[in-house]
Structure 1
């Protein structure tokens, strides 16, 4: 089979190669999946650069954390039908075949397309869980703020909040996506290159600030976003796109009672109550299968084009996800 492999960590376009490998055999409790499509997420790119919460096993590490495929061969103790279409998580989904734990798969309803099913887990589950953990409710005085609003994840959060009636302020660095974001339900947009973020948030919220910030940028953006929090507000950090740590104003944290904490879906899935996990899965699948929430795809690439694919995925101003189609 062909797979995207890297033998050392570094920039994905520099270290990834499409390489022939033997088709793996599933062990007890595992499934061999013939991959249909897999998205390129920021977490995938961070993993290849050794900047993620789990570390690659070198040499010859696979890449890609989620995808959609068809069950090819169940391992010992697995009672699942060959040919069933499933969304799954694993390490090494940018390949013609991948091994997944039987507990890490979700059967896909017929009405859900492969493009959507490929993106079912990482962004939708993270978005749903973070909006839930934000504590922000519908109401004129309740505000959630989202940095990097134009990302695929940002668009997911905007659509979820719109359905829940939650006011959302989104930050962008360019204005070319503003109309699209507002059509998805974004209440207000702030261009961090041309506007004073804290001043604009005060204007938008009547001087009260926002109850929660979801930040994936870090650096100066997160530093300024912290100033936008209302008293007893919370910042949930789930990424570091700028590769720079924010400067935390201790005075603000003390006198406004602010909380800053990280969010990692893997940990959330481990510690969340099983009933909550089940409810999130049902809600996410329902919203995506019905088309209530959209997950657009901008382009698809084969494994032989993996370098071009990761370069495209890292390009600013995209309108949809980049998929790898083995």
Structure 2
């Protein structure tokens, strides 16, 4: 079978290789999945560069999630082959992948493959992080990198909950699309003063919560936009830079900064909460209330083109790998 591997740490386009490998066999509590499609997420790129919360054991597969058909069952698995499932693993960019049965989510017919491929990482993170933000109806939430696939999901979820949103961008070509999704206000940080604009938009009060995916100076400036008692939730570091924070600001505005990692959140909450989130996410996708556009799809042989495309600025949709 064809699969994507890397045997050294580095930029995805530099280290990823399409190779032939023996068909994997599922162990106890595992299944083999014939992969239909898998997205390229920022976490995938970070993992390949050894900048993620889990570290690759070289040589390693790549790709954390996808959709496929259950092809073979390991010992102790009580399900049938032929089911279409969303799955998580290390090595989803492959013709076949091994996944633990606990990571599987049966996909209803109403959700097409391109949506099902993205069912876990972005939708679960967006749903959980908006809950953690705890912004009341009518309150203000700000998100950096608003034009990302994740940002678009947060915008749509906040609109459904009556939460006002401010999104930061570095170019204006997606502004109309973001407004159509429900973004209340957009700020181009390349041409506008972020803190001054947020103060103007919120009548001087600031925002209750900032969701930051960028780090560096963007996170530093975003902290200044919080209202007294506000919270910044950091879930990414696209700039690969650490922010600098004013200690006085933290003290006298009683601000909170915390990280969010979906893997830890899934371990932290009880099984009923996980099931509720899964049911809500599936319902939103199946009914079309949440949109997750796909910009392009590539084969395994085109993996270098695929990861290059995924790194481009100004993308309007997700990049998929389709074995």
TM-score bin (small chain) = over 0.9
Of 251, 263, 267 in structure 2, the residue corresponding to residue 266 of structure 1 is: 263
Q: Is 1:105 the counterpart of 2:104 in the alignment?
A: yes
Structure 1 unmatched ranges of 5 or more: none
Matched residues in 2 for 1:4 and 1:277: separation?
Answer: 30
Q: Is 1:256 the counterpart of 2:253 in the alignment?
A: yes
Partner residue in 1 for 2:81 = 82
User: How well do the aligned residues superpose, as a CA RMSD in angstroms?
Assistant: 0.5
Q: Is 1:28 the counterpart of 2:28 in the alignment?
A: yes
1:194 match: secondary structure: coil
Of 154, 157, 164 in structure 2, the residue corresponding to residue 157 of structure 1 is: 154
TM-fit CA distance, 1:273:
2.1
Of 188, 195, 212 in structure 1, the residue corresponding to residue 185 of structure 2 is: 188
Matched residues in 2 for 1:209 and 1:272: separation?
Answer: 30
After superposition, residues 119-268 of structure 1 pair within 5 angstroms as: 119-139=118-138, 142-268=139-265
After superposition, residues 30-109 of structure 1 pair within 5 angstroms as: 30-58=30-58, 60-109=59-108
Q: Deviations over 1:53-95 (max 9, x none)?
A: 000011x200000000000001001011111000000000000
Matched residues in 2 for 1:278 and 1:61: separation?
Answer: 30
Matched residues in 2 for 1:301 and 1:85: separation?
Answer: 21
Matched residues in 2 for 1:117 and 1:321: separation?
Answer: 12
Q: Deviations over 1:176-225 (max 9, x none)?
A: 00000000000000000011100000000010000000000001100000
Matched residues in 2 for 1:18 and 1:183: separation?
Answer: 39
State the aligned residue count. 323
Matched residues in 2 for 1:77 and 1:200: separation?
Answer: 57
Matched residues in 2 for 1:262 and 1:126: separation?
Answer: 12
Q: Deviations over 1:6-60 (max 9, x none)?
A: 01010000000100011111000000000000000000000000000000011x2
Partner residue in 1 for 2:117 = 118
Matched residues in 2 for 1:82 and 1:100: separation?
Answer: 14
Matched residues in 2 for 1:80 and 1:312: separation?
Answer: 37
TM-fit CA distance, 1:279:
1.0
Partner residue in 2 for 1:7 = 7
1:37 match: secondary structure: strand
Runs of 4+ deviating beyond 4 Å:
none
Partner residue in 2 for 1:283 = 280
1:35 match: secondary structure: strand
TM-fit CA distance, 1:313:
0.3
- TM normalised by structure 2 equals 0.99
Q: Deviations over 1:143-199 (max 9, x none)?
A: 000000000000000001111111000000000000000000000000000111000
- TM normalised by structure 1 equals 0.99
Matched residues in 2 for 1:89 and 1:276: separation?
Answer: 19
1:38 match: secondary structure: strand
Q: Deviations over 1:95-121 (max 9, x none)?
A: 000000000000000111000000000
